[in-house]
Amino acid sequence: MRRISVYVALVLLAAVSVVPFLWMLATSFKRGQDIYTTVPSLLPLDRKTGEWAGTLDNYAYVLDVGGLGGAFVNSVWVCAVLVPAKLLIDALAAYAFARIPFPGRDKLFVIMLGGMMVPAITLLVPRIHVTQSLGMFDSGWGLIVPNIASVLDIFLLRQFFLSIPKELEEAALIDGAGRLRIFWRVVLPLSKPVLAVVTITSFLFHWNDLVWPLLVTNDPGLHTLPLALQQLVASPDGGRAYYVMAGAALAVLPVIAVLLVFQRRILRGIAFTGLKG
Amino acid sequence: MSRGLARGTAVALLATALAACGGGDGSGGGTSGSGTGTGGESRELTFWMYQDRTPQAGQVIERIRRDFERANPGVTVKLVKIPKDDYNTKLGSALAGGSAPDAGILDQPLVSKYALDGTIEEVPAGLIDEAGYYRGALDTNRAGGKLYGLPQDQTTVALFYNRRLVPAPPKTWDELKQAAARVHAADPDVAGMNVPKGDGYGAWMFPGVVHGAGGAMVDDAAKKVLFDQPPAVEALQLWVDLQKSSPRAITDSDKPFENGRAAMTISGPWDVPTIKEQFPDLDFGVAPLPYKTEPAGNIGGENSVVFSTSDDPDLAWKWLAFLAGPDHNGAVADALGGFPVHLKARVVAGGPEQAAFLEQLKVARARPAVPQWIQVNDEIIAPAIESALTGRATARQALADAAARTRSLLGWTG
Amino acid sequence: MAAPVLERPPARPGGRARRRPDARRRDHLIGALLVAPALAYFLVFLLYPALSALSYSFTDWNLRTEAAWVGLANYAGLLFDDVKYPHFWKSVGVTLQYTLIAVPLTLVTALAQALLLNAVRRGANVFRLLLFLPVVTAEAAVGAIWRWLYDPQYGLINTLLGLVGIPGQNWLNTPELVIPALAFIAAWQCGISMIIYLAGLKGIPGSVQEAAIIDGAGPWQRFRRVTFPMLRPTTFYLLVTGVIAALQVFGLVYVIFSGNGRSVTGGPEQSGLTYVLHLYLFAFRYDAMGAACAMSFILLVFIVIVTALQFRFVKQEAA
């Protein structure tokens, strides 16, 4: 009996999560005026006759005119380069902060944490300036390099590395292994869960980030998915829901794929990051 | 993770990074065009504009771009199209970050501001024959008597009415109120009019209504705030009265006019083709804005300027003059969603609806040329309109309070 | 239970006192090398921009001309001059209201989802994925989806409310309802918090629960006496990070109230004018980047104070 009530509650909560999603999918298959029904329909039906009226035209439009296809490719390669590179840089730094003694280490760490608290929006203009000075404006580099590390991720990774029993590393040290070798051979293999967490959160962030690509690219050939989506949303004809939803549906599919791959590891990753009392 | 795998991944990543970034590298910032400007060499120009209104409009602009390149061998024009919502944010960061384009579209109220602080160039003498242009549109590019930009299109808003619900368009405020009341009385699920709201957009439309009662928002030469005077108060009262027959629960839904839920609305020429395409069943007409004492309206449209950081201002001006000239301005203006600014350019937009806009344009007036006007519009006038519309204050109180605030902000006494 | 340990003390270098001096020097070198890329990034893309922003906060700057030094005028003006900044305090109020509604609502939803997920075996993976879906949706699309769901004529929300006899509302255009409506969207996107709670739940040893069952505690008592106290560090972490994020909320209001080339002035009667939206308008629309930078440092100080207070409160409670 109790079990049933748990499932009922779960189904209700899941419905709240999923219905907006289903509405998005349904709308992406609807024809223009069929979205204006006083009783919202979760199926693409003709608004007068109630008959099935699903169409793929919206997808064809966003891929062809909306430029979603090219933007999709750009987003894929930006994330494919940025996310692993960022993970590597963050993990190396986090490991040093956690384990390798060097002068001024802890002070440096605290200063870096402080820098994280300034609201990002005020940093945009100076960042554009730096990007321009480095000659990366309006290039693939400009999408990647200004995002290539994250203090928050360093913090998370450091917490995790601190929780790994030190004895494992000490044994290897005594065997004469170098620090880098210990990092690759001992620490990283033990850290897969937290690496999965950082990967998925930073992938989600960059996959959906609108503001930076908007400001730093001019060339339409460099547009990423959120930029292409924004063109549909902010379109001068008032934003047609059926196009926007087709674009949104296309943008979300790869994320779900990534999620399915990493989902189990994410859970374990967070359990280990030292959040437990 | 085995070491081999890790290394392999790293190498693969590096390779992808180099390939991908190299691909994007050819497209430098706006100011990177070669500035030598000598005849046969290749010259590059970056031009920023708003996102295309329709795919067709995009094709028109593209055709004109190719024509220009053909007429000027060795020249490449790069068009950057930006959603209007984000345009000024992007432009602001680019100007501050040193990556501004050679030339671009600029909002009318921004031209005088940018001119005064040297952000944009003055139009070179002899570039255009000023007599060939509509005076009103050209004047929106002036600051201190000098010309700082070329208009590309001009536009105005007018009254859209649903023929099924409102057979003959109202001409005066009284007729407008009666028409709205009649519609709502006949069917309580239909609003008489999509009354503008107290947001930045509503505040932007408000001056046109004030002019219709013979008033003005400000007298910027005499530094006087006028929108607490009777014409403005009456204009706001009109909106308050209209709202009685136009519940917001109806007009706040998506596209109420297009769906036949609001009998009238105020919009511009750009909406005519979009509505016809998306809502072919809607039988609608367009008429000049109803007025109290004299026909009046707002002038809007897009201006174009050359930024002072451009390496090749001559080429940039040539491009702008090409767009605004008699041969192409008709098509350009139509693509931008307005009417030509050159007297000899052909009006592309057809249909009876356009006549109403053209008539409206004859009596349209420019927005106040006060540098802080955008802030006054958003932060002072919009909330005042909203508080009157929601009944929190009377129209008179709301505008008196707003006028007092505006005077203190601008340091005006009148 | 001991005080929650959010940040563990760094490893003591003394633990390796045995290592020879040249090994230590090598450590210094390697440590510096490993940190170098991140440090370079920090200096170039965080510290330098942050210091620039700080210096701009003492100037009058329109992004185009040279910034003019004005000392503390921006700070004083924001706090005391309601002619120049008529909606500054309004934006503070809106943001506090949002934080007070959105953060608890998000945490309660996330906790409920996690508890339920933790109680089932079969289908847990599927449910977990479904509950996580809202997080993966692009922000631009989130705005468009919810503008429709809240639509007074065609919206699903009013239709559903109608089924249980509640009259439909004009959600995004009624000042009193705007913030609750936004907070609901935030709670809809609580997936990350849910996963973190779930991880916390998995960390509670089964023996503790069994002991409570043997003592005859019912489900509610077990939750109150065992589960919730054991989750306190997790709740605290989510509270601190949630408050920081809520105080900086921007993207959500921007996508809900923008569109069609209209200016985003923050919804009806500025009821959705959050602090960072207000900041954004001054930075990019009203030509006052200096004042906008000052706003961001006022917010920074406020965030630091609120965070410190939360830490202190928790410490006192634990003592």
Task: Give the C-alpha separation, A253 to C198, whole Å.
Answer: 25
Residue B73 has pLDDT above 90, yes or no: yes
Cβ atoms of B347 and B330 within 8 Å: the answer is yes
Q: Is A12 on the interface with C (CB under 8 A)?
A: no
Q: What is the pLDDT of residue C19?
A: 58
Task: Give the C-alpha separation, B141 to B305, whole Å.
Answer: 9
Residue bearing the bigger pLDDT, B314 or C136:
B314
Residue C17 has pLDDT above 80, yes or no: no
- Maximum average pLDDT range among B138-142, B146-150, C167-171: B146-150
Q: What is the pLDDT of residue C219?
A: 84
A191 falls in which pLDDT band (50, 70, 90)? confident
User: What is the arithmetic mean of pLDDT over B163-184?
Assistant: 97
Q: What are the backbone dihedrals phi and psi of residue B155, each rounded to the nearest 5 degrees, phi first?
A: -155, 170
Q: What is the pLDDT of residue C2?
A: 34
* Residues in C touching A27 (Cβ below 8 Å): 148
Residue B232 has pLDDT above 70, yes or no: yes
Domain C88-286 belongs to what architecture?
Answer: Orthogonal Bundle (1.10)
User: What is the arithmetic mean of pLDDT over C111-120?
Assistant: 92
Q: Where are the domains of chain C?
A: 20-56, 88-286
Which candidate from C34, C155, C292 shows the least CB-CB separation from A100? C34
Residue C13 has pLDDT above 50, yes or no: no
- Maximum average pLDDT range among B66-75, B196-205, B296-305, C250-259: B66-75
Which candidate from A36, A131, A184 shows the least CB-CB separation from B259? A36
Contact C148 B254 (CB under 8 A): yes
B78 occurs within a structural domain:
yes
Q: What is the pLDDT of residue A14?
A: 94
Q: What is the pLDDT of residue B20?
A: 40
A65 falls in which pLDDT band (50, 70, 90)? confident
Which candidate from B201, B249, B383 shows the least CB-CB separation from C152? B249
- Maximum average pLDDT range among A1-5, A114-118, C115-119: C115-119
- Which residues, 6+ apart, have CB-to-CB distance to C264 below 8 Å? B85, B200, C253, C254, C257, C258, C277, C281
Q: Token pair for residue B342? A: 């050159």
Q: Where are the domains of chain A?
A: 1-55, 56-272
Same domain (yes/no): B356, B328: yes
Half-sphere exposure of B20 (CA within 13 A, CB side): 23
Each residue of B18-55: pLDDT tens digit? 344 433 333 333 333 333 444 457 899 999 999 988 88
Same domain (yes/no): B148, B180: no
Residue C123 has pLDDT above 90, yes or no: no
B178 falls in which pLDDT band (50, 70, 90)? very high
Which candidate from A112, A119, A268 shows the least CB-CB separation from C42? A112
Contact C134 A20 (CB under 8 A): yes
Beta strands B300-306; B150-155: pairing state: antiparallel
Task: Give the C-alpha separation, A239 to C260, whole Å.
Answer: 7
Touching subunits of A (3+ CB pairs, under 8 Å) are B, C
Q: What is the pLDDT of residue A273?
A: 55
B316 occurs within a structural domain:
yes
Task: Give the C-alpha separation, B149 to B142, whole Å.
Answer: 8
Q: What is the pLDDT of residue B396?
A: 97
Q: Mean pLDDT across chain C, nearest whole number?
A: 87
Task: Give the C-alpha separation, B77 to B91, whole Å.
Answer: 18
Among the CATH numbers 3.20.20.70, 3.40.50.2300, 2.60.40.1730, 1.10.3720.10, which is that of A56-272?
1.10.3720.10
User: What is the arithmetic mean of pLDDT over B276-298?
Assistant: 93
Q: What is the pLDDT of residue B53?
A: 86
Q: Token pair for residue C251? A: 């993207």
Q: Mean pLDDT across chain A, nearest whole number?
A: 86
Residue B344's domain spans which residues? 43-155+300-364
Q: What is the pLDDT of residue B231?
A: 97
B3 occurs within a structural domain:
no
Q: What is the pLDDT of residue B39?
A: 47
Residue B171 has pLDDT above 90, yes or no: yes
Least-confidence region, from B97-101, C166-170, C201-205, C235-239: C201-205
Task: Please name the residue of chain A whose CA is at the shortest distance from the CA of residue C28.
Answer: A102
Map residue A192 onto helix, strand or coil.
helix
Touching subunits of B (3+ CB pairs, under 8 Å) are A, C
Identify how many contiguous H helices and E strands chain B contains and give both numbers: 16, 15
User: What is the arithmetic mean of pLDDT over A62-74?
Assistant: 90
Q: What is the pLDDT of residue C212?
A: 86
* Residues in C touching B113 (Cβ below 8 Å): 287
Q: Token pair for residue B348? A: 């592309």
Q: What is the pLDDT of residue A266?
A: 66
DSSP B48-83: EEEPPSSHHHHHHHHHHHHHHHHHSTTEEEEEEEE-
Residue C125 has pLDDT above 80, yes or no: yes
Residue C12 has pLDDT above 60, yes or no: no
Range 208-267 of A in CB contact (< 8 A) with C: 208, 210, 225-226, 229-230, 233-234, 236, 238-239, 241, 244-245, 247-248, 251-252, 255-256, 259-260, 263, 266-267
Which candidate from B16, B27, B82 shows the least CB-CB separation from A81? B16
Same domain (yes/no): B145, B74: yes
A1 falls in which pLDDT band (50, 70, 90)? low
* Count: domains in chain B: 2
Residue C18 has pLDDT above 80, yes or no: no
Cβ atoms of B339 and B361 within 8 Å: the answer is yes
Range 99-118 of C in CB contact (< 8 A) with A: 109, 112-113, 116-117
Q: What are the backbone dihedrals phi and psi of residue B172, each rounded to the nearest 5 degrees, phi first?
A: -115, 170
Q: Token pair for residue B60? A: 């028109």
Q: Is A174 on the interface with C (CB under 8 A)?
A: no
Q: What is the pLDDT of residue A267?
A: 62
Least-confidence region, from B161-170, B318-327, C215-224: C215-224
Each residue of B391-406: pLDDT tens digit? 999 999 999 999 999 9
User: What is the arithmetic mean of pLDDT over C56-66?
Assistant: 94
User: What is the arithmetic mean of pLDDT over A220-226?
Assistant: 90
Half-sphere exposure of A265 (CA within 13 A, CB side): 18
B356 occurs within a structural domain:
yes
Q: What is the pLDDT of residue C121?
A: 82
Whose structure tokens read 């992007």?
B90
Cβ atoms of B365 and B296 within 8 Å: the answer is yes
* Residues in A touching C117 (Cβ below 8 Å): 10
Each residue of A13-44: pLDDT tens digit? 999 999 999 999 999 999 888 888 877 888 89
Contact A128 B93 (CB under 8 A): yes
Q: How far is B195 from chain C (nearest CA, A)?
A: 14
* Residues in B touching C151 (Cβ below 8 Å): 252-254
Q: What is the pLDDT of residue B33?
A: 38
Residue B149 has pLDDT above 80, yes or no: yes
ipTM above 0.90, yes or no: no
Residue B9 has pLDDT above 50, yes or no: no
Closest CA to A202 of A241, A144, A247: A144
Residue B229 has pLDDT above 90, yes or no: yes
Contact C262 B378 (CB under 8 A): no
Closest CA to A261 of A190, A203, A187: A203
B407 falls in which pLDDT band (50, 70, 90)? very high
Task: Please name the residue of chain B whose CA is at the shortest distance from the CA of residue A186.
Answer: B1
Gyration radius from chain C CA atoms: 24
User: What is the arithmetic mean of pLDDT over B161-177?
Assistant: 96
Q: What is the pLDDT of residue B8?
A: 41
Residue A275 has pLDDT above 90, yes or no: no
User: What is the arithmetic mean of pLDDT over A79-97?
Assistant: 95
Each residue of A117-175: pLDDT tens digit? 778 888 988 998 899 899 998 999 999 999 999 998 898 888 888 878 888 888 887 77
Identify how many contiguous H helices and E strands chain A contains and give both numbers: 14, 0
Contact C284 B374 (CB under 8 A): no
Which candidate from B200, B250, B408 shows the least CB-CB separation from C265? B200
Whose structure tokens read 């239970």?
C1
Say what the pTM is: 0.88
Q: How far is CA A56 from the centre of its chain?
A: 27
B61 falls in which pLDDT band (50, 70, 90)? very high
User: What is the arithmetic mean of pLDDT over A188-201?
Assistant: 82
The domain that contains B140 carries what CATH number? 3.40.190.10
Residue bearing the bigger pLDDT, A186 or B150:
B150
Neighbour-count burial of C163, counting CB atoms closer than 10 A to its CB (0-12 exposed, 13-18 middle, 19+ buried): exposed
Same domain (yes/no): B87, B204: no
Which candidate from A88, A140, A230 shows the least CB-CB separation from B20? A140
Same domain (yes/no): B288, B324: no
Same domain (yes/no): B58, B125: yes
User: What is the arithmetic mean of pLDDT over B223-233?
Assistant: 96
